[in-house]
Amino acid sequence: MTGVRTMFTLGLSTVLTMTAAGLFAGTSPQHGDEATQRAVAVLVPTKGSKVVGVVTFVKEGAGVRVQGKITGLTPGKHGFHIHEFGDQRSADGKSAGGHFNPSKEKHGGPSGPMRHVGDLGNIEANADGMATIDLMDPMLGFSGERSILGRGLVVHEKADDLTTQPTGDAGGRLAVGIIGIAQPPPAPEK
């Protein structure tokens, strides 16, 4: 079963990476496409973790709405960040690199005056270990320097304190996803 799960995870990661890299969609992760309106990350657990989830990113006005559900968490707050690489190859999630920070700012909270583009703050899991996410972020984009396409999405073991440099002291990585271009929603039936 572990071998099948590993093959599925690697296969899914490859498809998501190729999609994010634009090999299926004709765009590159750093430059994107002005037409890109939706992205998705499927979170897979790191070694010893049971954390999984799906998070969507939808262009809305001057920002991106981030929504999703993540399960398998301990109750309480967990750091939630976009990391520089969409790379799930290491068992501990460290191949995703550091926080996505193209403008070389200091770490901070999502509404702070200074922050990494990837600083999304914390998610909070309920008593059943599930976190529901619904936030709007004006710093995220699908094209240009702030493009999140092809980047990693990471859930951490501890709360982000929003001040400790450079990571918020959020601890190890429980799950990593790759942010890829999502299939458009189906057209309404006529």
How far apart CA 146 and CA 119 sit, in angstroms, is: 12
Concerning whether 78 is annotated as a catalytic residue, the answer is no
Can you tell me which residue has the tokens 């001040």?
A: 163
Exactly one of 99, 115, 146, 151 is catalytic; name it: 99
Concerning whether 92 is annotated as a catalytic residue, the answer is no
Exactly one of 78, 115, 146, 156 is catalytic; name it: 156
Concerning whether 31 is annotated as a catalytic residue, the answer is no
Concerning whether 83 is annotated as a catalytic residue, the answer is yes
Exactly one of 107, 115, 146, 151 is catalytic; name it: 107
Exactly one of 78, 87, 115, 119 is catalytic; name it: 119
How far apart CA 169 and CA 97 sit, in angstroms, is: 15
Exactly one of 78, 115, 116, 146 is catalytic; name it: 116
Which stretches does DSSP call E strand in the chain? 38-45, 52-60, 63-71, 76-83, 119-125, 131-137, 152-156, 173-178, 180-181
Give the residue numbers marked as catalytic.
Answer: 81, 83, 99, 107, 116, 119, 156, 173
